[in-house]
Amino acid sequence: MSEPKHSFLHELFLKHAHEVSAFIRGRWPREQDVDDIMQESFLRMSQVPNPETILNPRAFLFTTASNMAVDRHRRRKTRERYIEPDADIENLANDHLSPERHSEAHQALERFTEWLDELPELHRHAFVLYRIEGCSHAEIAVRLDISVSTSERYVKHAMQHISVRLSALQA
């Protein structure tokens, strides 16, 4: 990291870190990862080629932190929907599958992995981020350096591809 960029980010951190943390805590009082969100917001800013050219760096930080808190909340809600409250890892480990069921599950996973491997790399990454990691299209766009509409198109293409493969398998 160049010295001017480092100095700019350091001064920005000293000036706004407490304020960004207070904002997150005030807006999402149950959020447990406030410090992580704040640090990741500054990390995102450090990934901008020339952060000192951002017209309003304070607004950038607040918007980034807000979006990250919303994304975390959405991912947490998605996980909660699919996880049984009584399930824990020890019970899952002790839940022995019959050899036939284990083999079927392994084959299904291999087929799914093959289908994903047939996709172009960015389509596959967008799909995994969206469907498995629970990222929003906006977050995918930032991570993959593509537009939101391109993220939506890539995920749609991947889902159509998997759907076609699944339909062919069931025919």
Q: What CATH number should be reported for the domain holding residue 128?
A: 1.10.10.10
CB atoms within 10 A of CB 65: 25
* pLDDT recorded at residue 52: 81
Confidence of residue 88 (pLDDT cuts 50, 70, 90): low
* pLDDT recorded at residue 85: 52
Q: Count structural domains, the chain.
A: 2
Mean pLDDT of 6-13: 82
pTM of the model: 0.45
Choose the final residue of a domain: 56, 75, 95. 95
Residues 128 and 106 in one domain: yes
> Tell me: the pLDDT tens digits for 13-33?
888 888 988 888 888 777 778
Residues 73 and 17 in one domain: yes
> Tell me: the pLDDT tens digits for 30-83?
777 888 888 888 888 888 888 888 888 888 888 888 888 888 888 777 777 666
Confidence of residue 96 (pLDDT cuts 50, 70, 90): low
Residues 91 and 115 in one domain: no
Residues 81 and 159 in one domain: no
> Tell me: the pLDDT tens digits for 125-171?
898 888 888 889 999 998 888 999 999 999 999 989 988 888 887 76
pLDDT at 5 over 80: no
Residues 107 and 149 in one domain: yes
Q: d(Cα 88, Cα 12) in Å, to the nearest integer?
A: 42
Terminal alpha carbon distance of the chain: 55
Residues 112 and 72 in one domain: no
Name residue, tokens 């020339």: 50
Among the listed residues 132, 142, 165, the one whose alpha carbon sits nearest the alpha carbon of residue 68: 142
pLDDT at 93 over 60: no
* pLDDT recorded at residue 83: 64
pLDDT at 87 over 60: no
